[in-house]
Structure 1
Amino acid sequence: MTRPLTLTGAVTAVTGGGSGIGRAAALAFARRGARVAVSDLDLDRALAVAAEITAAGGEAFATRVDVTREADFAAWRDAALDRFGQVDLIMNNVGVLALGAPESLPDEAWQRVLDLNLMSIARSNRVFLPLLLAQGHGHVVNTASASGLLAYGFDRLPYVASKHAVVGLSEALALYLGPRGVGVTCLCPSGVITNILEQVTVYGEVASSPRAPDHPVVPADTVGDLAADAVTQGRFLVLTAPAIHDELAARAHDLEAYLQARISEQTP
């Protein structure tokens, strides 16, 4: 079990908080008594979410943050400290997709996805972890994906690679931060009703994924509640499709057999 965090009175900072899972998590944290620093590249969306929270009786403010800029993270952290005096939780939630056949994806597709999905967490770590470590408590939530656990999405290879990296990063981070009083949660949703399609770049013709799991598509609000509950319960892995556990067990038991079976499903 990772270290739980009481959200009542805590200060939570959420990237990509203007829509989708980020918005849902910001609202879920607020419903549990947290004060929220909402950030998004689209300031109007962040302002709207902060207004929702304050209209419901909570405390929140909004900041425009470009997660490719470490200076934006630092300015946002300082704004949260000025406003609330502390930061207890950072949720790294920004994610984008590049679609295309593996042999057709240019460097720019890889660079954009890795910069936003993975390197943004490295920047966040440098800005926020010293604060959490100094105070000896806190929590980090990293939004990965079921695609970071099961590599079925060959039509979105940079996304799969980035989310696998986020899962591994989060696990290693939990080993480092746990003994120091800071918890880590890795959020791995399957299908979620969000506006991520706005962030999709398509390169050439896109073939369908070989075998996307038959998992239910859930509302973003459900995922937000799952993330908030995991923080308060001290859970590391959060899934929206519990059936993934069985597939992960089969894969771990015999990776060769598992992969050959998946390949056979696609053989004409």
Structure 2
Amino acid sequence: MTVPSVSAGKVVLVTGASSGIGAATARRLAASGHRVMLGARRTDRVAALAEDLRAAGGEADHRELDVTDLESVRAFVRAAQDRYGRVDVLVNNAGVMPLSSLDALKVDEWNRMIDVNVRGVLHGIAAVLPLMRAQGSGHVVNIASVSGHRVDPTAAVYSATKFAVRALSEGLRQESRDLRVTVISPGLTRSELAEGISDTAVREATEDMLKIAMPADAVAAAIDYAVGQPAEVDVSEIIVRPTAQG
């Protein structure tokens, strides 16, 4: 998807912007003329990325962000509003994927996925919704997964969180007439997600599957397309995956 943005110059917040899809999205949207605020726990990385974007002629800032902490998310949104005067788009990208079979009983990892992948999305919505309602416009882009459309062995909890993201997005869309809501569901994508898998056998199997993965910029292009549409057009959902993925 290489269609250039129709409406540039929006203020876009990107969570989980230190690597993978988040970093690629920041680069893509800055190149399209949007002003980006980058959030992640790894502040050294988002600081370096923001500096790179500014050096390339873009407009970018960053802030430390923990999406599991509602006050951290609210502070992130306030920083963007203070910096740019408004918030047009939130890209709820932060996520974790420590895959394992249910009988491994990795309950702490289940809870971490729920905290980041579901509660983190809700925190983002809670932080921007009052502001966007007051503005009379806004766009929430939630990153789900093809795992939000199917369930595979070792991915039961991860899939559950991504099914939840799609459900929350559809609920928000139906409740909104002045806000746009988009779900992006990527397939196998080159990122650091597999590094969080503690089960050695599952990690090795996942890394083997990632040999056919698409670059993160393919997902960023889909986000750029949705963000760039006219205000009266809401791109509700995009599934993007490698051609070779079954």
1:35 equivalent in alignment to 2:35? yes
CA 1:132 to 1:207, structure 2 compared with 1: closer, same or farther past 3 Å? closer
How many Å apart are 1:7 and its aligned residue?
Answer: 4.5
- Equivalent in the alignment of 2:122: 122
Q: CA deviation at 1:206?
A: 4.0
Q: How far apart are the structure 2 equivalents of 1:185 and 1:56? A: 28
Partner-residue secondary structure (3-state), 2:180: strand
**Residue number among 183, 188, 191 corresponding to 1:186 in the alignment:** 183
Please state how far the C-alpha of 1:126 moved relative to its aligned partner. Answer: 1.2
- Asked if structure 2 preserves the Cα contact closer than 8 Å seen for 1:14 and 1:22, the reply is yes
Write the distance in 1 (CA, Å) between the matches of 2:75 and 2:7. 23
Contact 1:226 1:238 in 2 (8 A): yes
Between 46-55 and 85-94, the greater mean CA deviation after superposition: 46-55
> Which residue identity is paired with 1:172?
G
User: Percent of aligned positions with the same letter in both sequences?
Assistant: 36
Deviations 1:65-115 (Å, cap 9, x if unpaired)?
011111111111111111111110001111111222212223212111110
**Conservation of the 8 A alpha-carbon contact between 1:17 and 1:39:** yes
Closer/same/farther in 2, CA of residues 105 and 91 from structure 1, 3 Å limit = same
> Are residues 1:195 and 2:209 paired?
no
| 2:79 counterpart letter in structure 1 | A
Post-superposition offset of 1:242: 8.6
Aligned pairs, number: 235
* One-letter identity of the residue aligned with 1:223: V
CA distance in 2, matches of 1:68, 1:207: 25
Within the alignment, does 1:220 sit opposite 2:216 as a pair? yes
Q: What is the alpha-carbon root mean square deviation over aligned residues? A: 2.5
Following superposition of structure 1 onto structure 2, how do residues 160-175 of structure 1 map, counting pairs within 5 Å? Answer: 160-175=159-174
- Of 231-240 and 79-88, more deviation after overlay is shown by 231-240
| TM superposition outliers: structure 1 runs of 4+ over 6 Å | none
The structure whose Rg is larger is: 1
TM-score, normalization: structure 2?
0.87
- Could you tell me how far apart the structure 2 residues matched to 1:242 and 1:29 are? 22
The residue type equivalent to 1:58 in the other structure is G
Deviations 1:146-175 (A, max 9, x none): 000112x22122111101111111112111
1:67-146 pair list within 5 angstroms: 67-146=67-146
What stretches of structure 1 of length at least 5 have no aligned partner? Answer: 248-268
State the TM-score, normalizing by the size of structure 1: 0.80
CA drift at 1:199: 2.8
Give, in whole Å, the separation in 1 of the partners of 2:132 and 2:6.
Answer: 15
2:13 is the counterpart of 1:16: no
Which residue identity lines up with residue 230 of structure 1 in the other structure?
A: A
Partner of 2:239: 239
Measure the CA separation in 1 of the matches of 2:106 and 2:193.
Answer: 21
d(CA) in 1 for partners of 2:237, 2:130 = 24
> Cα 1:32–1:207, aligned 2, differ >3 Å: closer, same or farther?
closer
In 2 relative to 1, CA 54–207 (structure 1 residues): closer, same or farther, beyond 3 Å?
Answer: closer
Shift of 1:215: 11
Helix, strand or coil: the match of 1:33?
A: coil
